[in-house]
Every structure is written in structure tokens, then in C-alpha cells.
Homo-oligomer: A and B are copies of this chain.
């Protein structure tokens, strides 16, 4: 959890994450509803983009949301103001302040992608779950990005983000590994379902909210780091970004897949 957070902490990243949560919210969250009275641990809540949805969809559940970053938590707290069923705690996932088997359910969204040891993180979280409790994991996968018109430069720009995340100890292509990671950590009855965002011009909100303002903005956001790391040339990178925005035009198509897995202890 202490590794560099490749998405950055700036304002643009914050708004992007919020837009992302809004346009993807049904696709990713609608089938996660926890019973009243159940205790839920959200591990790695960041700025609370998912926390708000989680809390609203399970109004009777008691949600404890942790993050290692005090800056993130402050923003998460402001965002979740008025929601009575969430408590925020600053904590490292590998040094949790709770007793063993303290929770009925664990929720992990866009977190494993940043961890050098994702399976070990899941093992730790399994320790927090009561027997019979559930874990839910949602992760994206940059290798699933597929678009029209296709562009080598765009794929190279995406590869810059993947490489930077790798160097920071993470894995931007981790979505496809959710199944083996959950099984490897010892969860039973593991089931993974892919959730593809498919955006063409018949779905203008998704084109704007996802293709432009989430995915392409995220790739564009690593420009300075990619140039500084010497893994991209500015002209080529800019052409890649232009090509990604091109997929948001009338005849363009953009696809990206998130993987949602559930398992039982």
C-alpha cells in the first residue's frame, strides 16, 4: 500500500475518478448489496469514489473504509459527509488494526493493481473475514482496451501507463488475474464476471464520461512521467493521445473491461 500511486493526487485525477465512478457505477456496483447489520471492510478506499456508492447501495450495512493516505481520507470523509453508515480509518492493508475475523464482507476496488504482492494482500484480507464471509474484488485491465480506429501510437501511449505502474510495483493488466488471485489466496466458490464498457456514439455520455474523461485523460495524465522516464517521445505520445480522442468521434468505438470477482472464506 505504501508504493507510489501512479494515478497521481492532483485535482484532475480527482475529478476523473469521480466521473469514472459516476458513469460506471451501475456497471460495477449494482449487484453488490450487503444485508442490514453486516460489517463490511472496504480496503483501500482512496478518495471515497466507490465508498459513496457502496454506502448508498447498502444503507443498513456498517462500512469501515481504510486507506493508507491521510490526504485521501480527508477527501473521502468530505465526500461521504451525510452518510451515516461509513467510518474511515487510516491504516496500512498489511498492518490492519482490527481483530481477526472482524468482518462479514470485504470490498476491494481498484486497489490490487497498485500492490506488488496482490495475493498476499488477499490473504491478509481473508484473515479479517469471518468464516462464510465474502470478498468482492473489482479491477480494470489495460490490456483489454480495444478501439476503432486502431492506432499503434495509442497502444504505445497506453503501454507507457502500464510500464510506469509496473515500475511503481503495480500491474495495470491485473483484471484478468482476479480469478487465479482469489483462488490462490484460498477463497472458495470464486466467480468472476467481466464488465465491458463499450462506448460508441449511440452512447454519448459514455463516450464523454469514459473514453474522453476517464480513460484517455488518465493516459494523458502520465505524459510528463513517461517523458521523464524516457519511455516515450513527446510527438509520438501526443499522437497516441490524439488517436485515443479520435475514438470518441462519431464513427469511433472504445472498449475496456473491468473484472469483478467474488469469493467466500
Using a CB–CB distance below 8 Å, which chain A residues touch chain B?
Answer: 141, 143-144, 146-148, 150, 173, 176-177, 179-180, 183-184, 190-194, 196, 198, 200-202, 251-253, 255, 257
Contact = CB atoms under 8 A, between A and B. Distances in A.
Contact of A184 (B176, B190, B251): B251
A143 B146 contact: yes
Contacts of A202: 179, 190-192
A143 B180 CA distance: 23
B179 A200 contact: yes
Contacts of A253: 176-177, 179-180, 192
Given A192-B198, A200-B179, A255 B150 contact: no
Copies held by the complex: 2
Given A194-B198, A196-B257, A257-B196, A183 B146 contact: no
A198 B191 contact: no
B148 A194 contact: no
A202 B264 CA distance: 14
A176 to B, nearest CB: 5
A253 to B, nearest CB: 5
Contacts of A251: 180, 183-184
A257 B176 CA distance: 14
Contacts of A176: 146-148, 150, 253, 255
15 contacts: A141-B146, A143-B146, A144-B144, A144-B146, A144-B255, A148-B176, A150-B176, A179-B200, A179-B201, A180-B200, A180-B252, A183-B251, A192-B198, A196-B196, A255-B257
A184 B202 CA distance: 13
Contacts of A183: 251
A14 B201 CA distance: 37
Given A177-B253, A180-B200, A196-B196, 14 more contacts: A143-B150, A144-B144, A144-B146, A146-B257, A148-B176, A148-B177, A150-B176, A179-B201, A180-B252, A184-B251, A192-B200, A192-B202, A192-B253, A194-B198
